[in-house]
Amino acid sequence: MKIKLNSWSSVALWKWVVTDEEDVCGICRNQFDRCCPSCKIPGDDCPLVWGQCTHCFHLHCMIKWLQTESSNQACPMDRRPWVYLTGDPTTQDSQQQQQEQQQEQQL
Amino acid sequence: MKVYFLKKNNFIISYIHFNFKINNNNNNNNIIIFFLKKDIPTLAINFDLEWNRLKIAMDAIFNTAPLSDSLEGLYTLCENLCKYDYSSSLYQNIRNELIEYLKQEFINISKKLDEQNFLVSLSYLWTSFCKKLIMIRSIFLYLDRTYALREVKAGSLWSLGLELFKTYVANVSNIRIKAINELLALIEIDRQKKFITGEEENKYILLRTIIKMFIDLNMYEDFENAFLEASTIFYKKESRLYINKISMSTNSGQLIAEYLQSVETYLNEEVERCNLGCYNGYVDSVTRKSVTLIVENEMIKSYINIILEKGFEYLISSKAYNDLLRLYNLINRVDLLESLRIYFLNYIKKTGSFYVLDSSKDPVMVQSLLDFKKDLDDVLEQSFNNNDKFVNTVKEGFEIFINERQNKPAELISKYIDNKLRQVRSIPEETVEQLQERCMFLFRFINGKDVFEAYYKKDLSKRLLLFSKSINIELEKSMIAKLKDECGGGYTSKLEGMFKDMSVSKDLINDFIKEPEYSSRIGNVSLNVNVLTSGFWPSYPQSTYNMPQELLECQNAFSDFYLKSHSGRVLQWQNSLGFCVLKADFPKGAKELIVSLAQAIILLHFNNTDVLSYSEIETLSQMNTKELKKSLQSLSCGKYKVLIKNTEGKNVVESDSFVFNKEFESNLRVLKINSIQAKESLEERKTTREKVIKDRQYQIDAAIVRIMKARKTISHPILLSELFKQLKFSITPQDIKIRIESLIERDYIKRDLSNNTIYHYVL
């Protein structure tokens, strides 16, 4: 072995898992990559939430929506009762996708 | 009765005490006071006879001869005559005597009118007359204090004497004019400093005496007017001589400095001349203001433009701060500081533009401007008294010239700071801090602050990601704090976000190491991952490589670890950023190589073989051509030739093949080969600039919509002028036109159907 990797200082960008980069929040119509209208900078401070109905929104938008009376605690997209999804499956999906991509690259 | 006689200075003052007697026998106990009845001599006085005695005494005084009678006797005589009601005749006689005497004296002196020492004679006449008059007044003191004071308009004998003297000075054959002319001639000689050495003091005394005479005779105004007129002529002539010399000369700056010096000297001399306390002062102090005003007007005000035109730039560029201080003070006296300020401003603009506009000076622009600012600070402090107006002028000037060229100054300031912050180890901390402060001064005036932000962000990201070990985080943060102070939190929130990402990443990697489930997967590699929030950082081109298994496993292990605790996210690896440290066992000694990821991938492939052709590497790494060529070039043609290219030349072509350099040796143990990463490529600069322009488009759009929303209907020129007012960066009408077209396309606004140049807001 002539050459050995000692250390690696690497850089990664984190992004929200959304199927399409152009996908927008159903409430504020901003892209998921950007933040909700009441925030200025996208990122940790303006996270996304998923419902069991698999719909995704900005957390701030969703909270605001649920606070309105007309919401009936329902998802604004399909009117089914809104239940926050925990341990969300999309991540695993996307992880699998990523791994597949990387495997493809390797090949 | 008791009478006391007190003798003092030849004057006899008598006190008569009242004598009163108290009658004790009186039952009423009244005190009866008997007034002393003064005996008046009943002897008749022969006035003519007595006057003759006084006249003889006066003649003796006039001729400075000894007196035949005692002064005491004469005084009593006068007193007696007054008491016998001869006051008015006595007064009249004295007056006649004085007239007689003065008439004779002035006939004498008018004969000397053309003699050289006329002034001396006049001064002698005046001083002796004064002495004599005092003597006479002493003798006739009783008259002076009773009759003269009460009954005569002219008042005391002293003023009578001066009054008479004045009529002669005023009326006898131009004595007054002659005296004034002589005085002025003497003063001119004094101004030219041509008094014969040793004689100055006498001349000053003479001048002082004669001028004092004019004051005493209440004729000072005559002298003053003539004096001021002569001063005007003198200084007019003097200044014209200088200015002619200056305008002929090629070395006018130096001459201006000398000129200012002589003006100052002249002013000081005039002040001394008008200060009777000075040994060379002889003009009354009331004249000081007028005469200095003449010097100021004739020498400074009349030639202010020539002085500034020919002298200012020379003085300021040769850093003659004392001369500048003199200039400032003199101009301040004539209240023309505004002219000076304009020249100052023009100088700043001219010099600044010289540094800013010439693109060949770009590498030293910021340093030159900082030095320039320092010089100007010195000027302000040492010469301009830190006058607020001038301090603001410096700011005004900087603002004008720094914006004469778009974008470049902002970019270079950012670069300059970047350069200093990368070298924090070789520059003391305080120096860097000061430099930051000084750069902020320049930054403050830049209109396109967005350009600065873009470049600063890019430079900062490189410092954080590539030089994380050699930067001083305190200094970085102090710079951000300065920017925040200047532009508010919104301006720096992204920059601060970058620091936040860095510290979050640090915690992440510590947690990662603590979890053997993940960290065991990467073996002995010391991994560090900076997880960036995409909005904070500049965007980088995405590059995908085919990575060796060990590298890939590092990424996967970390991804798994990260996503476990951060659901709903993905990690997008930025392969063009970051760096690796490789341990290379060269036969002549092991080295540590600091390389980019692309370089590391290439080098790792040489573990299996010694020789690889370009195309083999390409297939193995799946890198794009440009990146591959650049990486290979830096490995085989740079300072440290880790690989050996089979052909000569500095460029890599597809037909080349590479051999691992077994003979490699170097004095250093750690070698940095990733410098190509740190260098800013032309392309990068272009993307930064494009990004700024794109961001500006949104700003233009927003401004247009804001205006349209408020106005509903607006004509094109008015819209333009509103926009120029609102937007802080400079834009061309063409840029705006493009944005308007795009907004019309997107149905934000529409054109008026009949008039093309009018827009309506679409509701």
8-state DSSP, A104:
H
In chain A, residues with a C-beta closer than 8 Å to the C-beta of B563 are 91, 95
Distance in Å, alpha carbon of A26 to nearest chain B alpha carbon: 17
According to DSSP, the β-strands at B589-596 and B670-672 are: parallel
Query: Which residues have CB under 8 Å from B298's CB, separation 6+?
Result: B232, B235, B236, B238, B239
Cβ of residue B597 closer than 8 Å to a chain A Cβ: yes
Query: What residue segments make up the domains of chain B, in order of their start?
Result: 43-171, 174-303, 501-565, 579-674, 686-761
Second-level CATH architecture of B43-171:
Up-down Bundle (1.20)
CB–CB of B556 and A102 under 8 A?
yes
Beta-carbon count within 10 A of B132 CB:
18
Cβ of residue A103 closer than 8 Å to a chain B Cβ: no
Find residues 472-501 of chain B whose CB sits inside 8 Å of chain A: 490, 493-494, 497
Q: Which residues pair with A4 in a beta bridge?
A: B583
Find residues 613-642 of chain B whose CB sits inside 8 Å of chain A: 622
Find the closest chain B residue to A50 by CA distance.
B568
Q: What is the pLDDT of residue B23?
A: 45
Find residues 52-81 of chain A whose CB sits inside 8 Å of chain B: none
Q: What is the pLDDT of residue B247?
A: 84
Contacts 24+ apart (CB under 8 A), B72-75: B72/B7, B72/B10, B72/B12, B74/B139, B75/B10, B75/B11, B75/B12, B75/B138, B75/B139, B75/B141, B75/B142
Q: Which two tokens stand for residue B434?
A: 């000061």
Q: What is the pLDDT of residues B562-586, one digit of tens each?
A: 888 887 788 888 888 888 888 888 8
Instruction: Answer with the residue of higher pLDDT: A71 or B270.
Output: B270
Q: What is the pLDDT of residues B17-28, one digit of tens each?
A: 444 444 445 455
Q: How many domains does chain A have?
A: 1
Q: What is the pLDDT of residue B8?
A: 44
Beta-carbon count within 10 A of B490 CB:
10
Q: What is the pLDDT of residue B39?
A: 61
CA distances from residue B311 to A93, B316, B345 in whole angstroms, order as listed: 79, 9, 15
**Interface with B, mutate which of A5, A23, A49, A84 (most B CBs under 10 A):** A5
In chain B, residues with a C-beta closer than 8 Å to the C-beta of A10 are 527-530, 554-555, 558, 573-574, 577-578, 597
Mean pLDDT score across all residues of chain B: 84
Residue-level length of chain B: 763
Distance in Å, alpha carbon of B727 to nearest chain A alpha carbon: 21
Cβ of residue B573 closer than 8 Å to a chain A Cβ: yes
Give Cα B693 distance to the centre of its chain: 38
Cβ of residue A20 closer than 8 Å to a chain B Cβ: no
Cβ of residue A96 closer than 8 Å to a chain B Cβ: no
Domain covering B686-761 in this structure, CATH number: 1.10.10.10
Of A13, A88, A98, the CB nearest to B574: A13
Q: What is the mean pLDDT of residues B291-301?
A: 90
**pLDDT interval class at B110 (50, 70, 90):** confident
Of A9, A33, A91, the CB nearest to B578: A9
CB–CB of B533 and A106 under 8 A?
no
Query: Which residues have CB under 8 Å from B294's CB, separation 6+?
Result: B228, B231, B232, B235
* Least confident segment among B187-191, B192-196, B348-352, B654-658: B192-196
Q: Which two tokens stand for residue A52?
A: 């069991």
CB–CB of B531 and A98 under 8 A?
no
Q: What is the pLDDT of residues B412-461, one digit of tens each?
A: 898 898 888 888 778 888 888 888 899 999 998 888 888 888 889 888 88
**Interface with B, mutate which of A1, A4, A6, A10 (most B CBs under 10 A):** A10
Distance in Å, alpha carbon of A78 to nearest chain B alpha carbon: 21
CB A5 within 8 A of CB B549: no
Helices of type H across B30-174 = 47-62, 71-83, 87-111, 118-139, 141-143, 149-151, 157-171
CB–CB of B572 and A14 under 8 A?
yes
Q: Which residues pair with B613 in a beta bridge?
A: B657
Cβ of residue B608 closer than 8 Å to a chain A Cβ: no
Beta-carbon count within 10 A of A51 CB:
20
Longest dimension (CA), chain B: 159
Distance in Å, alpha carbon of B683 to nearest chain A alpha carbon: 21
Q: What is the pLDDT of residues B337-394, one digit of tens each?
A: 999 999 999 999 999 999 988 888 888 999 999 999 999 999 999 999 999 999 999 9
3-state secondary structure of B556: helix
> Where do we find the tokens 């600063």?
B456
Q: Which residues pair with B32 in a beta bridge?
A: B21
In chain B, residues with a C-beta closer than 8 Å to the C-beta of A99 are 556
Q: What is the pLDDT of residues B651-702, one digit of tens each?
A: 888 888 888 888 888 888 888 886 666 666 677 777 888 888 888 888 888 8
From first CA to last CA, the distance across chain B in angstroms is: 122
For B193: left if phi > 0, alpha if psi spans -120 to 50, otherwise beta; the answer is: left
Beta-carbon count within 10 A of B526 CB:
13
Find the closest chain B residue to A11 by CA distance.
B530
**pLDDT interval class at B550 (50, 70, 90):** confident
Cβ of residue A11 closer than 8 Å to a chain B Cβ: yes
Q: How far apart are CA B412 and CA B418, in angstroms?
A: 9
Of A1, A43, A48, the CB nearest to B497: A43
Domain covering B579-674 in this structure, CATH number: 3.30.230.130
Q: What is the pLDDT of residue B10?
A: 44
Q: Which CATH class is domain B174-303?
A: mainly alpha
Distance in Å, alpha carbon of A104 to nearest chain B alpha carbon: 10
Q: How far apart are CA B649 and CA B653, in angstroms?
A: 10
Q: How far apart are CA B731 and CA B722, in angstroms?
A: 12
Q: How far apart are CA B251 and CA B625, in angstroms?
A: 63
**Is B169's pLDDT higher than 60?**
yes
Of B533, B570, B573, the CB nearest to A10: B573
Q: Per the domain annotation, does A31 fall within a domain?
A: yes
Residue B670 belongs to what H/E stretch?
A: strand B670-672
CATH number where A25 lies? 3.30.40.10
Q: Which two tokens stand for residue B78?
A: 């006068």
Find the closest chain B residue to A9 by CA distance.
B528
8-state DSSP, B681:
P
CB–CB of B580 and A7 under 8 A?
yes
Find the closest chain B residue to A35 by CA distance.
B535
What one-letter code names the amino acid at B533?
T
Whether the domain at B43-171 and the domain at B174-303 fall into the same CATH topology:
yes
Q: What is the mean pLDDT of residues B463-486?
A: 86
Residue among B599, B545, B602 nearest B574 (CA) = B545
Q: What is the mean pLDDT of residues A58-86?
A: 86
Q: What is the pLDDT of residue B392?
A: 93
Q: What is the mean pLDDT of residues B254-275?
A: 90
Q: How far apart are CA A23 and CA A11, in angstroms?
A: 25
A-B C-beta contacts closer than 8 Å:
170
Distance in Å, alpha carbon of A73 to nearest chain B alpha carbon: 23
Contacts 24+ apart (CB under 8 A), B107-111: B109/B172, B109/B175, B110/B172, B110/B173, B110/B175
Cβ of residue A106 closer than 8 Å to a chain B Cβ: yes
Of B493, B579, B606, the CB nearest to A41: B493
* Reported ipTM: 0.71
Of B527, B536, B568, the CB nearest to A17: B568
Q: pLDDT above 90 covers what percent of chain B?
A: 13
**Is B531's pLDDT higher than 50?**
yes
**Interface with A, mutate which of B569, B594, B597, B661 (most A CBs under 10 A):** B569
Distance in Å, alpha carbon of A79 to nearest chain B alpha carbon: 23
Distance in Å, alpha carbon of B476 to nearest chain A alpha carbon: 20
Cβ of residue A13 closer than 8 Å to a chain B Cβ: yes
Q: How far apart are CA B171 and CA B165, in angstroms?
A: 10
Residue B272 belongs to what H/E stretch?
A: helix B252-273
> Where do we find the tokens 């051509």?
B625
Cβ of residue B705 closer than 8 Å to a chain A Cβ: no
Instruction: Answer with the residue of higher pLDDT: B596 or A89.
Output: B596
Distance in Å, alpha carbon of A13 to nearest chain B alpha carbon: 5
> Where do we find the tokens 């272009």?
B686
The residue segments making up the domain with residue A61 are: 17-92
Q: How far apart are CA B157 and CA B159, in angstroms?
A: 5
Q: How many helices (H) and strands (E) does chain A have?
A: 2, 3
Cβ of residue B513 closer than 8 Å to a chain A Cβ: no
CB B626 within 8 A of CB B618: no
Q: What is the pLDDT of residue B31?
A: 62
Distance in Å, alpha carbon of B659 to nearest chain A alpha carbon: 13
**Is B758's pLDDT higher than 60?**
yes
Q: How far apart are CA B199 and CA B356, in angstroms?
A: 62
**Is B73's pLDDT higher than 80?**
yes
Q: What is the pLDDT of residue A107?
A: 53
CB A47 within 8 A of CB A61: no
Distance in Å, alpha carbon of A16 to nearest chain B alpha carbon: 4
Beta-carbon count within 10 A of B218 CB:
12
**Is B503's pLDDT higher than 50?**
yes
Cβ of residue B592 closer than 8 Å to a chain A Cβ: yes
Residue among B222, B189, B225 nearest B207 (CA) = B189
